Every structure is written in C-alpha cells, then in structure tokens.
Amino acid sequence: MGPVTRVGVTVTFLRMDQAPRDKAPGLAAGFQIVRALEPSVPFYRYLYNTVGADYLWWLRRTTPDDELAALLRDKAVAIYTLYAKGEPAGFFELDARPWPDVNLSYFGLMPGAIGHGTGFAFLRAAVDEVWRHGARGMTVNTCTADHPRALPNYIRAGFHVVRQVRETWAVPNYLNMRIPTRLKL
C-alpha cells in the first residue's frame, strides 16, 4: 500500500425506524434530482471525489474499477444526483442490499452548493425515497471528518444515534488527500 497518514475520527452510527411525519421541504427552483440508471465508473468517481474531497472520503478512491463497476450494476444500489441549473450539485447513494433496511452510504453536496439552504431538502429527498419503497429501517453514519452540519442534519431529518466509535484510518499518501491537521495522529 505504501506510505500512509494515520488519522483519528469518531464515527457516529445512526438509524431511523419510521418515516418522518413532517412534510419534507421542497428543493429550490432550478434544482432537480435524477437517478442514474446505469452510472459509469468515471461519473461516479467524479461525484465521489468532488463531494468528498474536503471530508476525507478515501475508501472508494482505493476501490478498483472492476469492483466499483460491479457495485454500480447491482440493482440494490442506487445513485441519485442533485442538479442545479443543469450541473451536478451533489449526490447520494442508497444501498438496499441489507433489505429491509437501507443504508444511506454516501450523501453530500458539491463545494459550490454548500451554504445555500439546499442540503436539508436534499437529505429529506433521500430519506423519503427510502420510505417510499417500503423499507423497515434506514441507517447512515457520519464522522468527525465530515461537514460540521452533517450530524445535526441527520438528527433533524429523524435519525437517532445508535453508537459512536473511535477509529484510526491509514489514508494512503498516494491519494494526495487534504487531511485536516486536527485529524492527524
């Protein structure tokens, strides 16, 4: 694997056992969500790498293309892209392989879409999509490398904290990730 940088994060695991009762906020004008029916590996990597660059999303960067392609072909895995005026503004990934639970594997906005009041409406769209299909539960996790509003937004959307775990990650240096000093061990 080569040289790595060791980082310490606290991972928070969350769960939702019933659909939210309140009406979800709508997306602002000019925004739409589109499910990618057959996402390509390069398109997925563009979404993942751009959204996750500031939050140390590194695991899928190390996943070989053939493994990632197999995941993207799996009918139980769904990729949804948020578009703003025709450009990608974020994405989420739903993994229904542990059915009847569904995991919100990845969720985030492109850097230019952060701070404009779109995140919560987009998150609720992901949550509502899961419950629309009859799931019995929904899970997600976040960590201290993620955006500081991630955990509060998950709780606001209806998730509750199940547990927190302190993890040490060995992030490969060849990825050239920007690693916040506060996370370095």
For residues 18-33, one letter each, b for 16 or more C-beta atoms within 10 angstroms of the residue's C-beta and e for the rest, the string is: eeeeeeeeebeeebeb
Mean predicted lDDT score pLDDT of the chain? 96
Q: What is the pLDDT of residue 116?
A: 87
Distance of CA 178 to the CA centre of its chain: 18
Task: Label the pairing between strands 101-109 and 137-143.
Answer: parallel
Q: What's the confidence (pLDDT) of residue 6?
A: 98
pTM for the full predicted model: 0.96
- pLDDT at site 125: 97
Q: What is the pLDDT of residues 92-147, one digit of tens each?
A: 999 999 999 999 999 999 999 998 889 999 999 999 999 999 999 999 999 999 99
Percent of the chain clearing pLDDT 90 (strictly above): 98
Residue 2 reports pLDDT greater than 80: yes
Q: Residues 6 or more apart from 112 whose CB is under 8 A from it?
A: 89
Range 17-43 average pLDDT: 95
Q: Tell me, what's the pLDDT at 33?
A: 98
Per-residue pLDDT, 121:
97
Give burial (CB, 10 Å; 0-12/13-18/19+) of 145: buried
Q: What is the pLDDT of residues 37-57, one digit of tens each?
A: 999 999 999 999 999 999 999
φ and ψ at residue 40, rounded to 5 degrees: -85, 160
pLDDT of residue 112: 93
Phi-psi category of residue 138: left, alpha or beta, with phi > 0 → left and psi -120 to 50 → alpha: beta
